[in-house]
Chains A and B, each alone.
Chain A
Amino acid sequence: METTVTKKTERLIGKPIRRREDPRLITGTATYVEDIELPGMHYAAVVRSPYPAADIKGIDTRAAEQHPGVVAVYTGKDIDHLGAVPCGISLPDLRIPHHHLLAQDRVYYVGHPVAVVVARDRYIAADAIDLVEVEYEPTASVSEPEEALEAGAPAVHAEWADNVAFTHHQAGGDIEKAFAEADVIVKERIVSQRLAPSAMEPRGTVASWNSGDETLTVYSSTQIPHILRTLMAGVLGLPEHKLRVIAPEVGGGFGSKCELYPEEALTAFIAMKIGKPVKWVLTRRDEFLATIHGRGHIDYYELAAKKDGTMLGLKVKIIQDVGSFHMLLTPAMPTLSVLMLPGLYRFKNVHADVVGVFTHRMATDLYRGAGRPEATHGIERMVEVLAAELKMDPVELRIKNFVPPSDFPYDTPMGVSYDSGNYAAILEKAVETVGYSQLREQQEEARRQGRLMGIGIATYGEICAFGPSPALPTGGWESATVKIEPSGQVTVMTGTSPHGQGTQTTFSQIAADELGVDIDDIVVAHGDTSTVQHGVGTFGSRNTSVGGTALVLAIRELKEKIETYGAMLLESDDVTYAAGVCTCNKTGKTVTLGEIAMTSWTGPTYPANTQPGLVATNYWEPPNFAFPFGAHIVVSEVDPDTGEVAIQRYLAVDDCGKVINPLLVDGQVHGGVAQGLGQALYEQVVYDDTGQLVTGEYMDYALPKAAMVPTIETDRTETPSPVNPLGVKGVGEAGTIAASPAVVNSVVDALSHLGVRHIDMPLTPEKIWKLVQQGGSA
């Protein structure tokens, strides 16, 4: 795509502006947590459990403490007065085990922090963790969630007899009637496997304690600096106003950095204890062990339909692998899935039962899509299973059941209201672009030649732009402050905390258009709780829709003030501000924004009833979510001799509402698709029968490399969201949500004539090869 060099007064929303963030990132001058150096820095390293379940019989720290260069070693007893790692969700029967920062008398998963060593050098700290002697007495463990639910399974937490962490039930319509009236009911067990979010920058924290004024500064690789501050103050027992949290450059998150992790609070605790700055950064191996995993669903689907393809109702049982402890939003993952279960389809009868299950594994929580990919994968697989059962074309079946454009806003049986959309139009666009009918002819020909070609379709709707505050324990609003400096340049402070999204660019575009100023006169700041007004953070595809709206509204308020000052300077009551200039509508005289700004800050006089200074802050609470949607089509071919899947075409047609920067939207789609495709074909967090993590390095966990991802064709429709004045919906998670069913549907389609109806992810060559062999002999 051709990029645009910015020009003054040119409208920038909708243009592929190259990013304002990039100069520091391409020259090696950005500052991530690990790049921070403070005088007297010490280094922390964590001793972790090698067992999934064991009693701790004793910990001998003497050898580690005596090791030259080691300053201190802390174990569970040293931190038992501190608060627990928080879970922010409430459900009626939710069981929340006390999640200490360090294990007390038991460990609950491989990687569970047991002790932390502090030394003056990172190498010494790494040496000394091997000198901490922990005596464990291993006990029976349970790793698979369905086994954990069986009677007699080892109880993960002794205070409860079984491993049910929570249940959740939600229903709409009349499910019994729907199933009674059905001509056909299709059933499937569908697994969305555990995944490692795998931001390229591992988690890390630097903490610095000032004993003079008793203030703590914490730099952390986080998506939620303001929330982290509140949570950490609570855990440490430190007054919140004495704590400053800074999210510096953050190297990706994908949801995994929306937490308060034990190590973040431990690093802060140690800095306060030793009175020296402390740095702690995860190794990749520990990142796999001790950063939350995503997904972890085992779902049982039943879809009821008439024989003409009219879908009537859906019953789903969701088994969510929780791991041994809840993290910040863990129980909300499957409940979010429930809200997305009906997909884009208009049937009104849905019944969902969720059970969260404790296992001796690392916790699951939000990872790109967060509950919605699981639901979309389920319904989009079930539609294909139904199409196969009815021998209907899957495109025709979908279009027959879509919510029609005339029904918006559309109230779903799960209690949410889809804002706007034209689902048939986007699928038809995808079908036409890809040449669907010709592809079906090619597939016929391929089969005659003995080749295994498949065409996979996935449509999706997504709840995003999180969100109205009742949906989030953090509050769902977002904030912006806009300040015109005395010299006329613009400083924007956003409460969001971008970490790769390009928000400094998109918000500059928005501010440039709203204020009519040169984009080079704008800076966008974020991520520092001492300088930026309170904010919520970056997750759930919310930056532009919620944070961008706060920005627009702050600027609109500021423009009124600009005109008030302009009127004073022009000695007129009829003035208009536009494009950096305030004009008297009678005389045509003008005064520039810079002149107005200087007057607003330095006087000597100010308009009546108007405060000095051009600055405005807005906190915007969205009235609803926004609902992007789209259609992705994949053409793949399976090698019958090796079971390998080759993706020959990937077309993504998305509708994320109004587009601020098409270059960045494409980037989000590409990256999202690569992650969904990674789930479909390659990625899986594997614990073995004994609860050991097998996929503990990139040697074992197949993160897609460049040659494993196809070229992705992108296209769009643009249906503005009525929820916010920008009309934007969100695009951060869309690709991930659409890709896994699109890819799997293509491979199942390739094998459908062999009787294959469903394959669980990842579609490894071994799995596919076996199916081909069985199909051949059947």
Chain B
Amino acid sequence: MKTQINVRINGQERTDEVEPRLLLIHYLREVIGLKGPHIGCETSICGACTVALNGKTVKSCALLAVQADGQDIVTVEGLATDGQLHPVQEAFWNEHGLQCGFCTPGMLMTTRELIERNPQPTDEEIRHGLEGNLCRCTGYQHIVNAVKSAAAKVGG
């Protein structure tokens, strides 16, 4: 038995019939075709699936699609506007804040909220702010630099 949901995703309204048990991440990736959010652990720890729900970051592997009914979702695909990269994307690129790129969509979404809430974060605040996102490649240092750089750009 399917349930109808109405969501706004990256600025576009959608109506879909989904199974009640369908995870939000599978809805995004397989129903809508947004392959940016990734599945790294299915246990809400690694953060590769992070998206924004009404402006707040959530792990989309730990939510059901039906829980997103009536809400506003932004994925990594929705960060850039009018062909212009979001400052967070630009900063990760400039600072070499990614290697294999698998964790990156989640990192970008978390960073966006992190610097919104704390426009001038210290290194320590950034590292704690990223605790919900695992990266195996970078050792996090260039990610921390990227967050700082993005914060400076957004704040300045």
Among B1-9, B52-60, B65-73, B120-128, the one that faces the other chain is B120-128
Known: A499-B100, A706-B127. A27 touches B141 (CB 8 A): no
Complex interface residues of chain B between 64 and 107 (CB less than 8 A to chain A): 75-77, 79-80, 85, 89, 92-96, 98-105
Supposing A19-B96, A26-B98, A705-B131 touch, asked if A671 and B137 sit within 8 A by C-beta, the answer is yes
B89 partner, pick from A27, A30, A499, A663, beta carbons under 8 A: A27
Tell me whether A3 and B94 are in contact (CB under 8 A): yes
Q: What's the Cα separation between A711 and B43 when bound, in Å?
A: 28
A698 near B43 with CB under 8 A, answer yes
Asked if A27 meets B98 with Cβ closer than 8 Å, knowing A18-B93, A123-B21, the reply is no
Q: Total A-B residue pairs with C-beta atoms closer than 8 Å?
A: 182
Given that A26-B89, A28-B77, A671-B138 are known contacts, is A664 also in contact with B40, CB under 8 Å in the complex? no
The yes or no answer to B151 lying at the interface (CB within 8 A) is no
In the bound complex, residues from chain B placing their C-beta under 8 Å from that of A24 are: 101
Contact present for A202 and B40 (CB under 8 Å): yes
For window 118-144 of B, CB contacts with A under 8 Å fall at: 123-124, 126-128, 130-131, 133-144
Docked CA distance A749–B78 (Å): 51
Q: How far is the CA of A201 from the CA of B139 in the complex (A)?
A: 16
Within 8 A of B (CB), among A24-48: 24-32, 34-35, 37
Given A30-B101, A699-B45, A711-B123, A18 contacting B94 (CB threshold 8 A): yes
Q: How far is the CB of A735 from chain B (nearest CB, A)?
A: 8
> For B133, what are the chain A residues with a Cβ–Cβ distance below 8 Å?
706
Inter-chain CA distance A22–B93, complex, in Å, is: 6
CA distance A249 to B36 in the complex (A): 13
Question: Which chain A residues numbered 233 to 270 have a C-beta less than 8 Å away from chain B?
Answer: 249-252, 254
Contact A25 B104, CB 8 Å, known A200-B48, A284-B46, A707-B128: yes
Within 8 A of A (CB), among B15-46: 19, 21-22, 26, 29, 33-43, 45-46
The residues of A that contact B115 with a CB separation of less than 8 Å are: none
Which residues of the other chain, A, contact B92 by a CB distance below 8 angstroms?
22, 26
CB A282 to nearest CB in B, in angstroms, measures 10
Chain B contacts for A475, CB-based, 8 A: none
Contacts of B21 in A (CB 8 A): 123
A520 CB to nearest B CB, Å: 15
> Given A27-B80, A698-B45 in contact, is the A712-B141 Cβ separation under 8 Å?
yes
> A28 contacts B42, CB within 8 Å?
no
Task: Let me know if A144 is at the binding interface, CB within 8 A.
Answer: no
Chain B residues near A672 (CB-CB < 8 A) = 139
User: Cβ of A23 < 8 Å from any Cβ of B?
Assistant: yes
Is the CB of A283 closer than 8 A to any CB of chain B?
yes
Mask: chain A, 198-227; 1 = CB below 8 Å from B; 0 = not: 111110000000000000000000000000
Question: Which of under 10, 10 to 19, 20 to 34, or 35 or more describes the interface residues of B?
Answer: 35 or more
A664 to B76, CA, bound (A): 24
Chain A residues near B85: list those with CB within 8 A: 26-27
Q: Is the CB of A200 within 8 A of B143?
A: no
Closest A residue by C-beta to B101: A25
Chain B residue nearest in CB terms to A2: B94
Closest to B106 in A: A200
Q: Establish whether residues B80 and A698, one from each chain, have CB atoms under 8 Å apart when the complex forms.
A: no
Residues in A neighbouring B127, C-beta threshold 8 A: 705-707, 709
Taking CB atoms, residues of chain A closer than 8 Å to B22 are 123
Complexed CA–CA distance, A158 and B129 (Å): 52
- Is there contact, CB below 8 Å, between A26 and B93? yes
Cβ-closest chain B residue relative to A16: B96
Chain A residue with Cβ nearest B45: A698
Contact code string A103-121 (vs B, CB < 8 Å = 1, else 0): 0000000000000000000
Contact with B along A2-21 (1 / 0, CB 8 A): 01000000000000101101
Decide if A697 touches B43 in the complex (CB within 8 Å).
yes
Asked if A666 contacts B100 (CB within 8 A), the reply is no
Name the A residues within 8 Å of B130 (CB-CB): 705-707
A705 adjacent to B38 (CB under 8 Å):
no
Q: Which residues of A contact B41 (CB under 8 A)?
A: 284, 697-698
Are B96 and A284 in contact, CB atoms less than 8 angstroms apart? no
Interface membership of A703, Cβ < 8 A = yes
Q: How far is the CA of A159 from the CA of B126 in the complex (A)?
A: 56
- Which residue of B has the minimal Cβ distance to A705? B131
- State A412–B108 Cα separation when bound (angstroms): 48
Q: Are A500 and B100 in contact (CB under 8 A)?
A: yes
Say whether A502 contacts B99, CB under 8 Å.
yes
Identify which of residues 457-516 in chain A touch chain B, using a CB-to-CB cut-off of 8 Å. Answer: 499-502
Shortest distance in angstroms between A110's beta carbon and chain B's nearest beta carbon? 19
B129 to A: closest C-beta gap in Å: 8
Point out the residues of chain A lying under 8 angstroms from B37, CB to CB: 28
Chain A contacts for B36, CB-based, 8 A: 27-29
- CB-CB under 8 A from A711, the residues of chain B are 123, 141, 144
Residue A673 at the chain B interface, CB threshold 8 Å: yes
Give the Cβ gap from A719 to chain B, nearest Cβ, in Å.
24
Q: Which residues of B contact A664 (CB under 8 A)?
A: 96
A199 near B93 (CB under 8 angstroms)?
no
A26 CA / B21 CA spacing, docked (Å) = 30
Given known A-B contacts A252-B137, A706-B126, A500 and B42 have beta carbons under 8 A apart? no
Residues of B within 8 A of A669 (CB): 139
Among residues of B, the one whose C-beta sits closest to the C-beta of A199 is: B136
A350 interface hit (Cβ, 8 Å) = no
Given A19-B96, A26-B89, A200-B136, verify A32-B77 contact (CB < 8 Å): no
Query: B76's closest neighbor in chain A, by CB?
Result: A28
Within 8 A of B (CB), among A664-722: 664, 666-667, 669-675, 697-699, 703, 705-707, 709, 711-712
Which residue of chain B has its CB nearest to the CB of A501?
B99
In the complex, what residues of A have CB within 8 A of residue B143's CB?
706
Q: From B128, which residue of chain A is reached at the shortest CB distance?
A: A707
Q: Name the distance in Å between A561's Cβ and chain B's nearest Cβ.
A: 36
Q: Could you tell me if A28 and B75 are in contact, using CB atoms closer than 8 angstroms?
A: yes
Contact at A670–B142, with CB atoms within 8 Å?
Answer: yes
> Could you tell me the distance between the alpha carbons of A28 and B93 in the complex, rounded to whole angstroms?
13
Which of B35, B48, B96, B101 meets A18, CB within 8 Å? B96
Q: Would you give the shortest CB distance from B77 to chain A, in whole angstroms?
A: 5
Provide the bound-state CA to CA distance between A22 and B76, in Å: 13
Asked if A284 and B42 sit within 8 Å, CB to CB, the answer is: yes
Complex: A22 Cα to B136 Cα, angstroms: 17
Nearest 9 pairs between A and B by C-beta? A28-B36, A251-B102, A500-B100, A25-B101, A674-B139, A670-B139, A500-B99, A28-B76, A284-B41
* Given A19-B93, A666-B96, A667-B96, 20 more pairs with CB closer than 8 A: A23-B93, A26-B92, A27-B80, A31-B35, A32-B35, A198-B136, A200-B38, A200-B46, A200-B134, A201-B102, A252-B100, A284-B43, A501-B99, A663-B96, A667-B139, A671-B99, A671-B139, A698-B46, A698-B134, A709-B140
Can you list 13 pairs linking A and B with CB atoms under 8 Å apart? A22-B92, A22-B101, A27-B36, A27-B76, A27-B79, A28-B77, A30-B101, A200-B48, A250-B100, A666-B142, A671-B138, A697-B41, A712-B139
Chain A positions near chain B (C-beta within 8 angstroms): 1, 3, 16, 18-19, 21-32, 34-35, 37, 122-123, 198-202, 249-252, 254, 281, 283-285, 499-502, 663-664, 666-667, 669-675, 697-699, 703, 705-707, 709, 711-712, 735
Interface residues of B (CB under 8 A from A): 19, 21-22, 26, 29, 33-43, 45-46, 48, 75-77, 79-80, 85, 89, 92-96, 98-105, 108, 123-124, 126-128, 130-131, 133-144
